[in-house]
Amino acid sequence: MEQKTEQMHITKDTTIGEIVDKHPEVVETLMSYGVHCVGCHVSPFESLEMGFKGHGMTDDDVESAVRELNKVIGKSPKAKKESKEFDLSGATVTLTEKAAGKIKEILKQEKKQALRVSVKPGGCSGFTYGLELDDKTGENDIVIEDKGVKLFIDKPSMAKLNGANIDYLDSLQGAGFKISNPNAHSSCGCGSSFG
C-alpha cells in the first residue's frame, strides 16, 4: 500500500514573521483564517499557534490551518530562493527628479551621505519599507547612485525592490515618499505595506 505524505514547510511552532518572510504567498490564507495581524509588531516573534489561539482557534482548527498553509506553499511555483541566489548585478531602483531633490535637501540638512532603503517583515500585507539616512555601507549592501543620490540597499531587500521607483509627493493630504514596486503582488488599504 502506497502512503502519500505531505511535505511540511511550516509547523504550528514556526513564527508568523518567518512564515511571511519565507512564504509571502500564504498571507491571504492567513487573513482568511481571521489572522489580519500578520504584520503587527508581535507577529515576528509569535508562533503560528499563538497567533491562531489568540484569535480563538482550537487545536483542531490550528492543525487544519497548518495543513492548508502547507498546501498553499506546496502549490507555489517555486520555494522562495534566498536573495544570494538571485543575480543582483543589474538590479535597479530609480528616483524621480522630485524625490532626488527632496533626498538631497534632507541629506544636506542632516549632513549624511546616503538614503538607506530596506524591506522588513511587517504591516498587514507582509512587508514594509524602511527609509533612513546613513553614512556607512554594510558588507551585504548594494550601492546605487541615481540623479546624484546614493542609495544603500541590503541584498535581501534589493531582491524585493528590483525595478522599484521612488517618488516624492506633496499634496493637501500630506507629503512623503512613495515607492512603486513591480514586485509587490498586493498591498494593504492604507498603502503602508505590501506582499
174 vs 190: CA distance, rounded Å: 14
Report residue 109: phi and psi, to 5°.
-60, -40
132 vs 141: CA distance, rounded Å: 14
- The three cell numbers of residue 99 are 524625490
> Topology of 89-180 in CATH?
Hypothetical Protein Aq_1857; Chain: A; (2.60.300)
- The three cell numbers of residue 190 are 492604507
Q: Kindly provide the residue ranges of all beta strands, DSSP E only, lying in the chain, ordered along the sequence.
A: 93-95, 114-122, 126-134, 141-146, 149-154, 164-171, 174-180
pLDDT of residue 27: 76
- The three cell numbers of residue 123 are 504591516
Largest interatomic CA distance in the chain: 73
Closest by Cα among 68, 69, 90 to 142:
90
What's the whole-model pTM score?
0.61
Instruction: Give the pLDDT of the chain (195 residues) as one tens digit per residue.
Output: 444 445 678 898 888 877 777 777 787 787 787 776 665 554 667 888 888 888 888 999 889 989 998 888 888 764 444 334 567 888 999 999 999 999 999 999 999 999 999 988 766 556 788 999 999 998 999 999 999 999 999 998 998 899 999 999 998 888 999 999 888 766 655 555 565
Domain chopping of the chain, boundaries: 16-75, 89-180
